Structure 1
């Protein structure tokens, strides 16, 4: 049943030889890797106004243009900087983790890796919550189910990504290009109505100067806070360079084309939406997002408005797919280096890193539940991680050009140096201005993550040294001292006793007694059967099964003779149906876990398969 459901949801397994075909074209790469960056246009401008309007009211609209212009300049600096990374790593992932680890040292690489992993997690959370917010803006009765809707969207994304890269890219191409077309229509029709038709602006507030009581220093601080919030528009730009191996050959040429198209689209869409927001004097309200209000003003309450809202919802929700492309790959690289669990480096049936996809989905679901699915509560956490990875990747490239002075290295050095300085400055600004709003979480979490990575790596190194075959010492012949836990006399126990007698003459059955009458009946049945092995009965007045049994086994292990090994054979019957297993006690499994962590005892189960089940 589970296998059939798995095949229906995920699809048939793919041969490893097909991995070369599971790569992205330019159009599909733009769809799957740009959705995060493009979707951030829908809420970046709104985040700027959320900071400005409560303090300086209508004067906020005079500041949104220069702040947005600064963000656009930063966009082009970052984009040109990442082109250098793609050129430097044409065949492999050129993400901040690889660049920083190779050129700035392992610890710096781990900081970049931690920031990127958390960035991908927040990408899913922010995108999904923003998408659901767009949906509830159009259909307000659904607002009370915001968290549930977020979890449903995450589950759908997990299943789609488990089906494979190219298949998920095909699915996500439609909403991405629908949103791009919708945004160009919104900007084009909006410009036409403002400059040609002269659209009436209802409820236009009277122009007011900035709050005269606010000092220059306070105003500067306010602008910096607004700028740091608006920098959410740049999130996702790094995704292209992180996923160079996912492109068809030539990988670097296709990746650079996607990055250039992404920068152009971001410039047009972010600038156009900012202009419309200012021209129409639209600010954030609780019931509707800013982009929804702009669309309502431009398209009216008609089919076009609802189609645009649908495309916005889809791009915001599916923008999380950028993270589902990046997180598993980055986790696989770190797992191969021994800094994350090894199973994250394994590809699943559909040639994707299935464990990483599932892990990302689970963590995003937890985060959305904790923050009640509200985007603005996640934005302060979002930007710090993004710009930390920006800064470290650019700094790593600066070190590269200073070390490898080949080709046009001075120009490349200038571009990456400018990128490192600018993004580093922005990182500090965001960390300071957003510190009490949640940025402190990143500043605390990243060192904890790096320490965890180091602990995982140390464990793997310790395991490797002890498992190394060069250190193998052949053990002398072993004699088994077998203990069989026996709750009652059944075919399962008898089957285990017969097996034990074939491999050792030293066999004992151990019964934990909490009911004297039952124990006496059990003893009589044992004597009647007379298997030729001793039955040890241990009283348990407090009805505990595990404690006295484990104590007996540990004592037997301490008193064993040289060359002896204590082996516990656990009788276990196997049900006909998978679900029937949950109807029975898992005593054997729990006992096995207890003994493995406490002793050198060998623990194994002896299965007895039930037959002819009618259900």
Structure 2
């Protein structure tokens, strides 16, 4: 019998996303330190492209040209915070080598509920990171090509959607290709800083006339330090500059990606990244001070672009270097935005595993990525871009609150860790982490107050709301778990009803109803009744006439439904049945005609779903939807219909698409054994042999003579089906003789005596075994 054809929807997904990946491909690549630096630091290092500009955007309208003098001390304070935060995360990566960063630190030290503060902060951070980095990358592009400026938002949204598509196809942020933009940008920016500083020292750099640039931001004309640079303005400028520290935590989120020893290697890379970031921040700030590079109201050309023009000049070599810097800037910013498409789905997977987000976020999709998380991130970031017009300046107030809240949670979590563990040098480490936590909290407060009217109010409102939603989802999951536990204890023994009534709800006489009646007779209930709820008297009369015409033996009961609420009427009818006699169980069968998805929605409503939901709320009642594929019957009966010929062509096309996938699945389920291992098909009863194959299925065997543990739970035999390229075999582990650690997807090496009883295939009883490869995606696999 040929397998059922794939749906058209799956065929389209296959064309759009490519071949599905077998779970065995889920291998995490370990990164060397140079590659890790390039792959994990673009989010942090790329912020130097807009951090200085954001400070000037706030200062110039109030402080005038004095803004350039204030820029340097503000940058100095930001660098002090960078040193403390980097020192704090140096402790984090040594203590927590599992991916997750501040969320894992908060969860391990304060519990999963408090950790949701860190989770909310990181979720917001990832969403805004995509928007800010993509928007800033577009600024780099339109700074070099001003004619594209009016289309900045469209370009940014298009880039985000392209990233979403690439990541749904399984784009992996690992290896040299993703490290190259970081090193390219660092080289170009270091070159610009060195050339700029040398020119300033020996010859002097050209200065922009900030007060006469057309399209530049407003520049205060008075004595800025006295007239306009109030404490609030300075704090707002400092808050904007704090966006330069975003991404410092990225390495702590992926410590498990490093080669062993993970913590030590992550610490080295984090230190190098912080040094590079500090040098670039200081260099760009100094050159902005020297050249008086001024931001523009339109957002482009950027301050970094103006500095590059002044440093490299307008000669041929200068033009080439300028273009190279803009290309490098756009590349690292877009790469930095793409890092969130790996971090956000991984974080939502962690939080969902802790039951604070929907379970759908833990599922891997067509290409072994967390597809739902990727789609959610793309939708939210695009919505944020559209709402802010893709302006970096408008997005920054959303940015640093989440970032610095994560810094705070990591600092406080590590403080608790040191107080609990009291390891060698714990007082010194505690001082660093506590200082970083307190300072980060102060920055959060500054952002919330100073930038409140510029958009920070939205984060101030959304942040606690998001934490509340996470808690509410968790309460729902915990309630389900409590009910499940109560159900397990109350229903440990199977219920034997004195009466079992089977009801088939019908609305017409067709093939689906006949199939449901046939299925109902197979349940062998005490009675089988067809029930129709009358909405239209004439339609009900026609139904009765057709029922008698086809001489259907099952009695048909027609019940008036004057309010046309079929689901409620069915619920009331079943409730009356269960109450009529004690110890009565009712099974309700709901026939469903299966058509193509679009055609099915046109031809039929979803009444069966509504009725099944209503009945499932009743005790001692169960609703089962019985699907029937009408299209397959039409094809068999009318093979010459044009629609069916077209459908068969589509089916053949779909089967061609999936042929290679089926072969890959077969190879994954039945791997070829090594030469020194006996193939499953070569086992001989009575001979001791060693086989190697993949675990296809693990089942606990039902037995009337089950032993009981002290807690009352059953001890059952374990049946394992193992296969290689030659076939499959069954292994049975009697209670207490092993098999508890065997999981589907593992590769086992099994040694034992092959047995055969009668016509049963060759099998083994309680053999010796070892796990050669863990199941893909299991904790053991992730920890390798």
> Whole-Å Cα distance in 2 between the matches of residues 499 and 536 of structure 1?
19
> Whole-Å Cα distance in 2 between the matches of residues 4 and 391 of structure 1?
47
Residue aligned with 2:114, SS: helix
- Aligned partner of 2:72 in structure 1 is 65
Decide whether the 8 Å contact of 2:592 with 2:608 is kept in 1.
Answer: no
2:382 to 358, 365, 370: 365
1:340-355 matched pairs, under 5 angstroms: 340-348=357-365, 350-355=367-372
* CA-CA distance at 1:478 after TM superposition: 6.5
The answer to whether structure 1 residue 595 and structure 2 residue 588 are counterparts is: no
Structure with more of its chain in helix, by fraction: 1
2:553 to 532, 536, 539: 532
The answer to whether structure 1 residue 184 and structure 2 residue 190 are counterparts is: yes
Judge which range, 245-254 or 518-527, deviates more: 518-527
> Whole-Å Cα distance in 1 between the matches of residues 12 and 198 of structure 2?
52
2:511 to 481, 491, 502: 491
Q: What are the superposed Cα offsets for residues 436-470 of structure 1, whole Å, 9 maximum, x if unpaired?
A: 32323333333323332332222222222222334
1:501 to 521, 524, 527: 521
2:103 to 97, 102, 117: 97
- Aligned partner of 2:303 in structure 1 is 290
Judge which range, 35-44 or 360-369, deviates more: 360-369
Say which structure, 1 or 2, has more relative contact order (CA 8 Å, 6+ apart): 1
1:189-588 matched pairs, under 5 angstroms: 189-195=195-201, 198-203=204-209, 205=211, 210-211=223-224, 214=227, 219-287=230-298, 288=300, 289-299=302-312, 302-348=319-365, 350-468=367-485, 469-473=488-492, 474-477=494-497, 479-503=499-523, 504=525, 505-510=527-532, 512-514=534-536, 518-537=539-558, 547-560=565-578, 561-575=581-595, 580-588=599-607
Decide whether the 8 Å contact of 2:612 with 2:624 is kept in 1.
Answer: no
* CA-CA distance at 1:64 after TM superposition: 0.7
Distance 1:10 1:410, change over 3 A: farther
1:150 to 152, 156, 159: 156
Distance 1:15 1:68, change over 3 A: same
* TM-score under structure 2 length normalisation: 0.71
Distance 1:359 1:593, change over 3 A: farther
Residue aligned with 2:626, SS: strand
> Whole-Å Cα distance in 2 between the matches of residues 598 and 590 of structure 1?
13
The answer to whether structure 1 residue 46 and structure 2 residue 53 are counterparts is: yes
* TM-score under structure 1 length normalisation: 0.88
User: How many residues end up aligned between the 2 structures?
Assistant: 606
> Whole-Å Cα distance in 1 between the matches of residues 151 and 546 of structure 2?
60
Judge which range, 303-312 or 418-427, deviates more: 303-312
* CA-CA distance at 1:3 after TM superposition: 4.1
* CA-CA distance at 1:231 after TM superposition: 0.4
Decide whether the 8 Å contact of 1:387 with 1:424 is kept in 2.
Answer: yes
> Whole-Å Cα distance in 2 between the matches of residues 578 and 171 of structure 1?
41
Distance 1:578 1:167, change over 3 A: farther
- Aligned partner of 2:4 in structure 1 is none
* CA-CA distance at 1:278 after TM superposition: 1.9
> Whole-Å Cα distance in 2 between the matches of residues 361 and 33 of structure 1?
20
Q: What are the superposed Cα offsets for residues 521-559 of structure 1, whole Å, 9 maximum, x if unpaired?
A: 4332222112123444566788x5xx2353244333234
1:9-158 matched pairs, under 5 angstroms: 9=17, 12-16=20-24, 18-19=26-27, 21-89=28-96, 91-93=97-99, 95-158=101-164
* CA-CA distance at 1:592 after TM superposition: 4.9
Distance 1:350 1:596, change over 3 A: farther
Distance 1:454 1:528, change over 3 A: same
Structure with more of its chain in strand, by fraction: 2
> Whole-Å Cα distance in 2 between the matches of residues 146 and 401 of structure 1?
48
Which structure has the larger Rg? 2
Decide whether the 8 Å contact of 1:538 with 1:548 is kept in 2.
Answer: no
Q: What are the superposed Cα offsets for residues 409-455 of structure 1, whole Å, 9 maximum, x if unpaired?
A: 23222322332232232222222212232323333333323332332
Decide whether the 8 Å contact of 1:147 with 1:368 is kept in 2.
Answer: yes
Decide whether the 8 Å contact of 1:478 with 1:563 is kept in 2.
Answer: yes
> Whole-Å Cα distance in 1 between the matches of residues 328 and 575 of structure 2?
66
Consecutive unaligned residues of structure 1, counting only runs of 5 or more, are none
